[in-house]
Structure 1
């Protein structure tokens, strides 16, 4: 998101202007500007030339590279401030120049402000620690006002350090304090270091000192003050809201300092104001007696230096929180949970286990009630999992609606989680019942956190595919099966793109006349050695991986091309049936792709019959029915495949735009040795009542064919008539008939 700034706030690029003379009668502030971009130099001149800061003009000395700056520094070393680009001749040229200034030249008083146009090369925190850098900004955020403000702060810091270097013993302590404080990675550690350094600086006892900031590390409750560091009798208030502090004098002093945004020197206490870019803090010191001018000046210098530290440490803490916590629930995120699993393998937890929890049908809640309600439900689930009902357990949000829980097996078990989730969740005005699916994996010392999470995910996915259970515990066999599945999918993808898959065709026979009226296109995957992979194995894997969408379009195209070769033969069937799977409907645009294909290949729509399974039609009718209606409006025939094996109701069936019922082969196999096929008979009768054609699959004997013909079954296919065959064999078979 861009930020709109007043025109005078922007760094404007202008033509080069001559730099001020180095021999000016009025003592100036020497500023070294190092950048490999001429426009940056021009903008800096435009902004700073003729400017007087703290009663003295600026003297700008420019260098277009780090090596040129080294040459300048070899001649003169009286610069008050250096504005350095990070990336110049090399990615770390600016940082190497900082090391040269601090280590080789030993220029400890010069203030350094780093600038960069490439935020990706931001210096590590250790660089600030090692080289005493005043500030770090991207060039985009250094507006005119911010540049002048940063420069003024650096000059004031330089002037004060110079003054103290000549008159006060505290210089080394201040510099050492800043370096130590910059090593901290958390506000609490930083606050503790500030308090320790202040007591040493003023020779006070470590008691009655407190450091407070606005807001919590996760960015919440930014209007409230919190204690982030305290000493002596006040230490027990760390991490608590300031308004819970019993000493009213301390509360009022900090609140007043934060409101006014400046230091407060009172007769018996001092309050320092630390103003960061987006975060303020105050340090209260019980000095017992008034401070002298020297001590006041020393504290101001100390505060000026640690303010930059405070902002940097605050940003590091915010980044760490963002990197390892979920923004919605504030639980650990996937990355942090993996580290916690790593730690669990090294710790002495008794029989540890990791469990993944997936909210069933969460997408339906989002669709029906909106994402706000969905998000509120996730927060409610997180709160219940993170409550005291799961003691000694660590909870994380792993994915959109997947949570991870780590704990001892004695406390963490599937039945306990199911019981915990049994009570409905109050989400706004809704009372939402929630069911979950669980995947569990025991933790061993030999595994990494990443491996443990992967294994728990394998168990979870298996539990989600299991229609009869909601919980699976990982076993080694699951991992082997997953590797096998992935290898099959990889090989299938390779062979499909290499053109090794083929389409075979099985004739469909009119039982009354005995003539072939249609063919069904069947996908086959030969491996080159004569073995053909079973479709019942690889087609579900193609659907699982999403590859079936691409393969399905290809099969449709092959079937349309085969149609033209068939119609060239007199008496050949004029209808080709093609199976369509659920992922093809979910991918969207199925109707449009089929219409385009039929039009481009000049195939009449009534020559194509699409077969969908009964479970597809019943499980997701909203996704399927609208597409079927549009396809049927084009003239495409629709058939329900494997009918009788699903759970459809008559009311659902009559609402479907279908033309044909295909009787599953399991019901045809019952017709043998004089036994009738009760289910086949029922389906044929149902088809007649609904005005639908019936096709019997898997007809293998004359007895079965005769029985079905007597019942009035319309069509049949199976080995009794013809096996599936390649297109050339089909053409020869048709010609022979």
Structure 2
């Protein structure tokens, strides 16, 4: 065989090619050089063949570390080819034929240079070169450049594709012997790769699937490399086939991990967004609508906590399967979070098509799941957004569908909501408020107002309720009805409540230092604060730090807070009362369930809710309830205070029935600390004049 492929390709896998037995025992003179044409090693046959040259001072002396100027231009012209034949002025000082093979080892490129000297030992080398050819572990064949028929093949090629001698393959095309059944690589594609080699004169790499006679499939990387004769023309094509099946399987596994959820096997967020992006492009071109469903399982955490994560995982798999059964052929379901799923409904003509799928999904998921013989119920909340009305890209659609899902949660769960701009505007406002509220304390935007509490008998101030206010830098004065529930929801009520308590206590001390008459300060406690197991210690620290008289502090708790855990509530109230502070029930009468427990709580005062005060003058149920509350409180030796008093008639009704104190616009609106101080000073002056 006159033409030789990559004789030393597999040597690149060895730690040091120059030290390998294969290199040392090559039957041709050989050297290893790096990309800069610097010699790394020469083999024994090279030393033997060119001993006289090596021992002289000839300009072509070759030793490890030497640079070969005659080799460098050759390497530069063939850097992109793994195999190359050329003619150079070699070690003997004359032009001779060389075979070059590139090796990629640990990130560096090496070149194996073989010197098949036809003038000195042609017959011997002609016998030895096929032996080297046959020693290569990769299947290799040499092809005719006109017919692409096999001229010769090494043993690995024969064993892989023929199972017999090479003579059985000569004359056949490479495609014929490497494809036992139809594959994705057609004959025309196979020939196209070879024609590209002839057209460009460069190495061409392709992949193709080989199916053996017994049906096994393997993926091969095919490397087609041109071989040139002494004139520079391409005379043959070397075809090297490398089995990359394991590499492809690894790539498939990586693709699976990066695009699919490991637990359910469903597409993950990455693949979902890519698919949605493609659907949006098609919908924009074909004028179709797209729906995105965002689904979140209701109370899934409770299932995990009570039945265990193993059951929770099996439930998620079952939900994924049931969701898939609810969809149409072109729809996609993906898992994008712990218990969150999304569905893409492409190519919609009308929105009602999506509504049908949503309702079918709700009905299907409301049925019991059989998890290891145990019935598990798990409903779902669904948000729905449409392209193009609710978003022009995948991020906007997903965000808006998720927002609609939270709206479904707020509407009681096990239902669905469609995204709307109106509800979204409310969500944006809520987000702005929450973001601002998180910084309101540190920026000094919160302050307190004080509303007078007076004796019903003479109108003299006996106390004040501390009310929190928030001056937003852009929105202005935010009503408490907007930010207090938000503070409760986010947990910000804990630091805000602590600040209110301490600020009110400090203000009480400041008024005392100004010589004003002592008044009781009513401070609201939230449900979250009351459930804080460190609440008593925190209040004790604030009382101690501010130096306020505990007898001037009254903590106000709502009826609903006290009814949550009657026994625990009584214990907590006794601890608070032990600090010396007073306790009041705020908004009394709205809970209807506290009367039987009231005698067990160390309560000092009952505050009648303003809803019962508004219609006192008209009689009726509200007047009856207010009168009953006052009578009950008197029987239990509790003081009463009515909120929301705004008229003389309301005042007279309460005075006649023995309500001791009132609070409302009739006597004063909430006011700043300095205004309340002036109010106290004025009322003190009035008492001295009338006294």
- State the TM-score, normalizing by the size of structure 2: 0.61
**Most deviating of 685-694 and 456-465:** 685-694
Whether the 8 Å contact between 2:522 and 2:556 is mirrored in structure 1 is no
2:477 match: 532
1:667 match: 612
Distance in structure 1 (CA, Å) of the matches to 2:465 and 2:292: 48
1:330 match: 265
Whether the 8 Å contact between 2:382 and 2:415 is mirrored in structure 1 is yes
Offset, 1:167: 8.1
Out of 319, 338, 342, which is 1:400 matched to? 338
Aligned pairs for 1:139-218 within 5 A: 168-169=141-142, 200=174, 203-207=177-181
Offset, 1:606: 5.8
User: Do residues 504 (structure 1) and 453 (structure 2) align?
Assistant: no
Is the partner of 1:699 in helix, strand or coil? coil
Whether the 8 Å contact between 1:699 and 1:716 is mirrored in structure 2 is yes
Is the partner of 1:509 in helix, strand or coil? strand
1:440 match: 384
2:308 match: 370
1:61 match: none
1:561 match: 506
When residues 710 and 616 of structure 1 are mapped into structure 2, their CA distance, relative to the original with a 3 A threshold, is same
Offset, 1:473: 1.4
Distance in structure 1 (CA, Å) of the matches to 2:290 and 2:20: 63
Distance in structure 2 (CA, Å) of the matches to 1:634 and 1:106: 87
- State the TM-score, normalizing by the size of structure 1: 0.58
Out of 263, 281, 284, which is 1:346 matched to? 281
1:214 match: none
2:117 match: none
Is the partner of 1:347 in helix, strand or coil? helix
Offset, 1:724: 1.0
Whether the 8 Å contact between 1:639 and 1:662 is mirrored in structure 2 is yes
Gapped runs of 5+ residues in structure 1? 1-26, 33-46, 58-70, 81-100, 116-127, 133-158, 174-198, 211-228, 235-246, 255-270, 275-297
Aligned pairs for 1:466-505 within 5 A: 466=411, 470-493=415-438, 496-505=441-450
When residues 337 and 31 of structure 1 are mapped into structure 2, their CA distance, relative to the original with a 3 A threshold, is closer
Is the partner of 2:506 in helix, strand or coil? helix
Distance in structure 2 (CA, Å) of the matches to 1:30 and 1:619: 78
Offset, 1:535: 1.8
When residues 105 and 503 of structure 1 are mapped into structure 2, their CA distance, relative to the original with a 3 A threshold, is same
Distance in structure 2 (CA, Å) of the matches to 1:588 and 1:347: 57
Out of 68, 71, 76, which is 2:38 matched to? 76
Offset, 1:231: 7.7
User: Do residues 380 (structure 1) and 353 (structure 2) align?
Assistant: no
User: Do residues 721 (structure 1) and 667 (structure 2) align?
Assistant: yes
When residues 166 and 478 of structure 1 are mapped into structure 2, their CA distance, relative to the original with a 3 A threshold, is closer
Whether the 8 Å contact between 2:501 and 2:523 is mirrored in structure 1 is no
Distance in structure 2 (CA, Å) of the matches to 1:78 and 1:161: 26
**Most deviating of 405-414 and 499-508:** 405-414
When residues 620 and 497 of structure 1 are mapped into structure 2, their CA distance, relative to the original with a 3 A threshold, is farther
Distance in structure 2 (CA, Å) of the matches to 1:164 and 1:468: 65
Gapped runs of 5+ residues in structure 2? 1-7, 25-32, 43-74, 83-100, 111-131, 149-172, 185-207, 221-237, 685-691
Q: Which has the higher strand share?
A: 2
Whether the 8 Å contact between 2:326 and 2:360 is mirrored in structure 1 is no
Offset, 1:524: 1.6
Offset, 1:453: 1.2
Offset, 1:561: 1.2
When residues 645 and 424 of structure 1 are mapped into structure 2, their CA distance, relative to the original with a 3 A threshold, is farther
When residues 548 and 358 of structure 1 are mapped into structure 2, their CA distance, relative to the original with a 3 A threshold, is same
Is the partner of 2:644 in helix, strand or coil? coil
1:360 match: 298
Distance in structure 2 (CA, Å) of the matches to 1:627 and 1:327: 48
User: Do residues 705 (structure 1) and 643 (structure 2) align?
Assistant: no
Deviation digits for residues 545-567 of structure 1 (CA, Å, limit 9, x no counterpart): 55444433322221221131234
Whether the 8 Å contact between 1:586 and 1:623 is mirrored in structure 2 is no
Offset, 1:454: 1.2
Larger Rg: 2
When residues 627 and 448 of structure 1 are mapped into structure 2, their CA distance, relative to the original with a 3 A threshold, is farther
Is the partner of 2:482 in helix, strand or coil? helix
Offset, 1:577: 1.2
User: Do residues 462 (structure 1) and 407 (structure 2) align?
Assistant: yes
Distance in structure 1 (CA, Å) of the matches to 2:22 and 2:598: 89
2:362 match: 418
Is the partner of 1:382 in helix, strand or coil? helix
Distance in structure 2 (CA, Å) of the matches to 1:505 and 1:538: 18
Offset, 1:665: 1.4
When residues 717 and 357 of structure 1 are mapped into structure 2, their CA distance, relative to the original with a 3 A threshold, is same
When residues 200 and 459 of structure 1 are mapped into structure 2, their CA distance, relative to the original with a 3 A threshold, is same
Offset, 1:503: 0.9
Whether the 8 Å contact between 2:12 and 2:104 is mirrored in structure 1 is no
Distance in structure 2 (CA, Å) of the matches to 1:51 and 1:592: 78
